[in-house]
Amino acid sequence: MKVSIYRYNPELDNEPYMKEYDIDTQGKDLMVLDVLALVKEQDPSMGYRRSCREGVCGSDGMNINGKNGLACITPLSEVAPGVLEGRKPLILRPLPGLPVIRDLVVDMTMFYNQYEKVQPFLQNNTPAPAIERLQSPEDRAKLDGLYECILCACCSTSCPSFWWNPEKFLGPAALLQSYRFLADSRDQATEDRLGNLDDPFSLFRCHGIMNCVSVCPKGLNPTRAIGHIRSMLLERAV
Amino acid sequence: MVTSVTSFGKNGVSDWLIQRVTAVIIGVYFVGLMGWLMANSGFDYATWKGFMGSLPMQIANTLMMFSVAAHTWIGLWGVTTDYLTSLQLGGSATGIRLLVQAVIILLTLVYLLWGLVMIWGGA
Ligand code: SF4
Ligand code: SF4
Ligand code: FES
């Protein structure tokens, strides 16, 4: 099959280009990450990130035939019709909107900066109990669909609002984590957290385009979380 | 977190609310106008003028003018801060953005004043 990969090495190339590879998959429905390993055998200069190879570490987020996803859990048959059969090329590019360090490797600093801003840790100033802070099963259930995020950045880098204002709009990933702590019965910083979100950019740049929902490899729904925060902000304002 | 930027209201929350409320006002206005047009098909100028000149319509039109102005400004402020930034235009972005925003404000105010003169001018 044909594989077309975005190549850019700032030390050698003046500008990025797409490089074509011929890869023999023996007709198997490999994961995209396996195909990348075969490419790497052919051309060791091609760079990409990966670690767990099973969808838990979030390091191999990339743009696969136009859609962000994790290479390790995306089988060729799910990329686009005709890719598995070799009728269409597999096209791999780095996550959009972030600076490229090299080939498929992007600089995630802007993404992490936004994550840091939402203070993604439990804040509670009451004396800690002897063993642990307890939570009812119902309160715990409120965190389902929020805590599973692996920070792969597939969502934020598919969001146009994040592309245009990556330093002001927090992006779906950071907002999902913001809500993860707003929804936590043990967290006491709600007022502070909301106070940090009521400007026109941090949250309100979300226009409900829902690209984030359609790409999240963990099946999470940042748009819904953003909606919950918006309701909290509105309630707080009136 | 992002400080010293609000497009219109106090903060992002009020901008968002104003945007929704004005959208509803504009929507209701159009539905109402459509209703009148359908109920009065084949109307002449005098009927139209009488309708538009009535006090309820003067108030509705005024509300409509202010809603359109606020809605336009918040919307276009969003568009300009999305597409006219240093990411797209480099160093001159802020100047260009402010210029475009100034033109938008000017046009909006002219339309608003013009509209008010038409509604309340009694001509
Ligand atoms: S729903 Fe909001 S956060 Fe998600 S992609 Fe759209 S604008 Fe971005
Ligand atoms: S919400 Fe989903 S797509 Fe976004 S960073 Fe978390 S796991 Fe990745
Ligand atoms: S390699 Fe860890 S998520 Fe794909």
CATH of the domain at B100: 1.20.1300.10
Taking the C-alpha atoms of residue B26 and residue B82, their distance in angstroms, rounded to an integer, is 25
> How confident is the model at residue B10, as a pLDDT?
77
In this complex, which of A200, A230, A234 lies closest to B5 when CB atoms are compared? Answer: A200
- Report the DSSP beta bridge partners of residue A126: none
Q: Is residue B5 part of a domain?
A: no
> How confident is the model at residue A64, as a pLDDT?
98
Ligand 2 atom closest to residue A153's alpha carbon, by position in its atom list = 5
Q: Which ligand is nearest to the CA of A61?
A: 3
> How confident is the model at residue A106, as a pLDDT?
98
Q: Is residue B4 part of a domain?
A: no
> How confident is the model at residue A148, as a pLDDT?
97
pTM: 0.91
Q: Examine the pLDDT at A69 and tell me if it is beyond 90.
A: yes
Q: Examine the pLDDT at A42 and tell me if it is beyond 70.
A: yes
Ligand 2 atom closest to residue A176's alpha carbon, by position in its atom list = 1
Q: Is residue B7 part of a domain?
A: no
Instruction: Answer yes or no: do B5 and A199 touch at CB < 8 A.
Output: yes
Q: Is residue B107 part of a domain?
A: yes
Average pLDDT in the B56-70 region?
A: 96
Ligand 1 atom closest to residue A223's alpha carbon, by position in its atom list = 1
Interface check A203 vs B, CB under 8 A: yes
Q: Examine the pLDDT at A125 and tell me if it is beyond 70.
A: yes
Residue A153 CA to ligand 1 centre (angstroms)? 13
> How confident is the model at residue B64, as a pLDDT?
96
> How confident is the model at residue B7, as a pLDDT?
72
> How confident is the model at residue A181, as a pLDDT?
98
Residue B122 CA to ligand 1 centre (angstroms)? 48
Q: What is the number of H-type helices and E-type strands within chain A?
A: 9, 7
pLDDT in tens, A132-179: 999 999 999 999 999 999 999 999 999 999 999 999 999 999 999 999
Average pLDDT in the A47-62 region?
A: 97
> How confident is the model at residue B90, as a pLDDT?
85
Give, as one character, the DSSP assignment of residue A30: -
Task: At A136, list the tokens.
Answer: 């009812």
Q: Is residue B47 part of a domain?
A: yes
Residue A119 CA to ligand 1 centre (angstroms)? 20
Closest Cα to atom 7 of ligand 2 = A149
Taking the C-alpha atoms of residue B29 and residue B25, their distance in angstroms, rounded to an integer, is 6
Q: Which ligand is nearest to the CA of A175?
A: 1
Q: Is the CB of A149 under 6 A from ligand 2?
A: yes
Farthest-apart Cα atoms in chain A, separation: 63
Q: Is the CB of A57 under 6 A from ligand 3?
A: yes
ipTM of the complex: 0.85
Q: Which domain holds residue B27?
A: 12-120
Q: Is residue B2 part of a domain?
A: no
Task: At A230, list the tokens.
Answer: 């918006």
Q: Which ligand is nearest to the CA of A58?
A: 3
- Report the DSSP beta bridge partners of residue A6: A18
Counting the structural domains of chain B, the total is 1
Taking the C-alpha atoms of residue A33 and residue A25, their distance in angstroms, rounded to an integer, is 12
Task: At B62, list the tokens.
Answer: 């005024």
pLDDT in tens, B2-59: 665 667 777 899 999 999 999 999 999 999 999 999 999 888 999 999 999 999 999 9
Q: Is residue B63 part of a domain?
A: yes
pLDDT in tens, B90-108: 888 899 999 999 999 999 9
Of A176, A179, A194, A206, residue with least CA distance to A234: A194
Taking the C-alpha atoms of residue B47 and residue B53, their distance in angstroms, rounded to an integer, is 10
Residue B120 CA to ligand 1 centre (angstroms)? 43
Instruction: Answer yes or no: do A237 and B17 touch at CB < 8 A.
Output: yes
Nearest CA distance, B101 vs chain A (angstrom): 16
Residues of B in contact with A96 (CB under 8 A): none
Interface check A164 vs B, CB under 8 A: yes
Average pLDDT in the A193-215 region?
A: 95
> How confident is the model at residue B122, as a pLDDT?
65
Of A8, A76, A78, residue with least CA distance to A45: A8
Q: Is residue B6 part of a domain?
A: no
Interface check B94 vs A, CB under 8 A: no
Dihedral (CA of B21, B23, B26, B32) sign: negative
> How confident is the model at residue B66, as a pLDDT?
96
Of B70, B53, B28, residue with least CA distance to B119: B53
> How confident is the model at residue B91, as a pLDDT?
85
Question: How are the residues of chain B apportioned to helix, strand and coil, as percentages rounded to the nearest 5?
Answer: 80, 0, 20
Instruction: Answer yes or no: do A199 and B12 touch at CB < 8 A.
Output: yes
> How confident is the model at residue B5, as a pLDDT?
63
> How confident is the model at residue B4, as a pLDDT?
56
Taking the C-alpha atoms of residue B99 and residue B95, their distance in angstroms, rounded to an integer, is 6
Interface check A200 vs B, CB under 8 A: yes
- Report the DSSP beta bridge partners of residue A102: A105
> How confident is the model at residue B88, as a pLDDT?
84
At residue B48, what are phi and psi to the nearest 5 degrees? -60, -45
